[in-house]
Structure 1
Amino acid sequence: MRFLGSSVLLSLLLQSVSAQGEEWRTAQSIYEFSAKDIDGNEVSLEKYRGHVCIITNFAKQEPGTDAQIKQFAKSYNAEYDLFSKIDVNGANAHPLWKWLKEQPNGRGTFGNYIKWNFTKFLIDKEGKVVKRYSPMEDPIEIEKDLLNYL
């Protein structure tokens, strides 16, 4: 997939981080969240204010350590920000993912459940979910939507 303009692909990977309270329920945008990047640094998503973003998960496709994942992505010339593994479903889901799935445009066929890897959320420049894409969605369709928000 080709990304245009100021779009940013955030790869929030799956596995372990405990949910922190219920503050996520009152969030108005992704800018109220933070997550650990692939190097273990806490990053405020405020960093992406004014950018169109795609947030996606990689399910158990990435069984290695964060360092191994970073090296793997580098071997494919990945030019997007990678984040540490987190849960996207269940009681320990990262607060961002809980919020994404509860947004009016974030609900999928299975409601607030991420069924498989590569579920994608298109985020506008105001940090709001504008569309959710299934893992099987054609990247060309995503690119068309991106053009409307850049």
Structure 2
Amino acid sequence: MSANNPDYKSASSVHEFTVKNIKGEAVKLDVYKNHVCIIVNVASQCGLTANNYKQLNELYDEYAESKGLRILAFPCNQFAGQEPGSSEEIVCFMADKKVKFDMFEKIDVNGDTAHPLWKFLKHKQGGTLGSFVKWNFTKFIIDKNGVPVERHGPNVDPKDLVKSLEKYW
């Protein structure tokens, strides 16, 4: 997996990375060139899940066509085991939530096993209490050139990102 990916410290954009979608297919993130993106770690059994999925869906419905917004969701089971399911179970959960945005394979976002993309995101947009991701639904805003330009914590509602997103459209 990391053979296809640059060293996160020398990378300049997310477009240099390759990830696997929820079906296990490799996706080079340069398909998102010229799109403003939200990259978010998700979990299906978190107290923040219902609100975040609902609002991410609303953002996607509102801005995907009109502004080219893309949302890249990465399931992660590193926070209190709140994403224990297989890819198939996550797909079923997404269907229940009527998710239309892009879902990727379950990954780690922290530690030595963190996906290189997430090491890059944290390197470019460190957190206030250290660069590690603290919980589910940490949101990174990526500009049209693939550069992580903002980071928002789990308690920031997706709808509250609109003012930030408008700066990059």
What code does the residue aligned with 1:124 have? Answer: D
The answer to whether structure 1 residue 131 and structure 2 residue 150 are counterparts is yes
Verify the 8 A CA contact 2:122 2:131 in the aligned structure 1: yes
Cα–Cα, structure 1 residues 30 and 134, in superposed 2: closer, same or farther, change >3 Å?
same
Distance in 2 between the 1:117 and 1:142 partners? Answer: 16
2:106 is paired with a residue whose SS is strand
1:73 is paired with a residue whose SS is helix
CA deviation vs aligned residue, 1:44-99 (integer Å, no higher than 9, x gap): 00110110000000243321101110111111110101000111000111000001
Partner of 2:89: 68
Partner of 1:8: none
What code does the residue aligned with 2:115 have? Answer: H
Distance in 1 between the 2:160 and 2:16 partners? Answer: 28
The answer to whether structure 1 residue 112 and structure 2 residue 131 are counterparts is yes
Distance in 2 between the 1:140 and 1:64 partners? Answer: 27
The answer to whether structure 1 residue 86 and structure 2 residue 136 are counterparts is no
Return the structure number with greater strand share: 1
What code does the residue aligned with 2:90 have? Answer: I
Distance in 1 between the 2:24 and 2:120 partners? Answer: 22
Partner of 2:167: 148
- Count the aligned residue pairs: 131
Moved >4 Å (runs of 4+)? 18-22
Distance in 2 between the 1:46 and 1:40 partners? Answer: 18
Partner of 1:97: 118
Partner of 1:34: 18
Verify the 8 A CA contact 2:6 2:17 in the aligned structure 1: no
Verify the 8 A CA contact 1:19 1:93 in the aligned structure 2: no
Partner of 2:68: none
Return the structure number with greater helix share: 2
Verify the 8 A CA contact 2:12 2:147 in the aligned structure 1: yes
Cα–Cα, structure 1 residues 55 and 131, in superposed 2: closer, same or farther, change >3 Å?
same
User: Once superposed, what is the RMSD of the aligned Cα atoms?
Assistant: 1.6
1:62 is paired with a residue whose SS is coil
Verify the 8 A CA contact 1:87 1:93 in the aligned structure 2: yes
TM-score relative to the length of structure 1:
0.81
Gaps of 5+ in 1: 1-17
2:151 is paired with a residue whose SS is strand
Distance in 2 between the 1:36 and 1:138 partners? Answer: 26
Distance in 2 between the 1:99 and 1:140 partners? Answer: 25
Verify the 8 A CA contact 1:101 1:111 in the aligned structure 2: no
CA positional deviation for 1:22: 6.8
